[in-house]
Amino acid sequence: MDELEAATVIEGDASATVTDAAKESKTRGTPKWETQARDRLKTAIRRYSKPLADLVARDANEGDTRLLVTDFLCDGLGFDKYADLTTEYQVKGEFADYGLRIDRELVAFIEVKRIATKLSTRHLRQVEMYAVNEGVEWIILTNGAVWQVYHITGGLPVVIDLALEVDLLSDEPPAHKVNQLFYLSRESLKKRQIDELWKARRATSPASLAQVLVSDPVAEAIRKELWRQTGHRVDTAEIVRLLSDTLLRPSGLQG
């Protein structure tokens, strides 16, 4: 995966499953609006599977991919084409593919690539600074089939976290796709439910876990337990070094 500029930190694991909070609620307390949004998504995923497969088969260009993305944003995710979507959103003389509004408030930028494009973090370069300049927290990157949602935290360094990813053409059960895409629905975004999903994902990311493992309290607890079990005294600084060199880097927990 390509790296963003040095001032950018990327956290998150695209292969991680959505947390339990993302699972579809089957209790009687499920709000009517949520049930309707999920049903709409389920129908749209089924409806657009063939058009998506057709785009892949003919290696459709970016323009044709955008047409399908627009339809899915409206039919599946519940956005109004005229009130909520702004194409070629201008930011300081450059243009994002879409600006996404809810009740006139800009909440996300959407970058669309042709259906055959394998999405990667380098594509975020095109919209990352748009989001920072406009104070927008969310970027949606899609090729029509794969949908990735990133949270942007401004400042130095800029921090980018992958909040969710779903592939509409994957073999995953439709309910799993609905559970993830639900957070992109207009209804859910308006209630900012994706914020909690992002916070949970970030809190349990490899980088966060690594930071906890090399913290002073954990290193001190390990020092005491090593003394109890082995009778050998190890300095906490040495424990931190050993954790970093022998456990974290080989397993990919530290960058």
Under 8 Å between Cβ of 127 and 96? yes
Task: Please report the pLDDT score of residue 207 as a whole number.
Answer: 62
Task: Please report the pLDDT score of residue 212 as a whole number.
Answer: 67
Task: Please report the pLDDT score of residue 250 as a whole number.
Answer: 56
**Which of 58, 55, 45 minimizes the C-alpha distance to 143?**
55
Could you tell me the two tokens for 118?
Answer: 């394998």
Under 8 Å between Cβ of 189 and 183? yes
Tens-digit pLDDT profile for residues 177-207 = 999 999 999 999 999 999 988 777 766 656 6
Q: What values do phi and psi take at 152, rounded to 5?
A: -110, 125
- For strands 105-112 and 94-102, give the pairing: antiparallel
Task: Please report the pLDDT score of residue 21 as a whole number.
Answer: 44
Task: Show Cβ contacts of residue 45 under 8 Å, excluding neighbours closer than 6 positions.
Answer: 76, 168, 174, 177, 178, 181
Stated pTM of the model: 0.73
Under 8 Å between Cβ of 117 and 140? no
Residue 246 DSSP code: I
Task: Please report the pLDDT score of residue 8 as a whole number.
Answer: 42
Q: Of residues 174 and 242, which shows the higher confidence score?
A: 174
For 127, 188, 194, 243, the CA distances from 185, given in Å and listed in that order, are: 21, 5, 10, 42
Residue 12 in this model has a pLDDT that exceeds 60: no
Residue 127 in this model has a pLDDT that exceeds 60: yes
In the block, tokens 């749209």 appear at 44
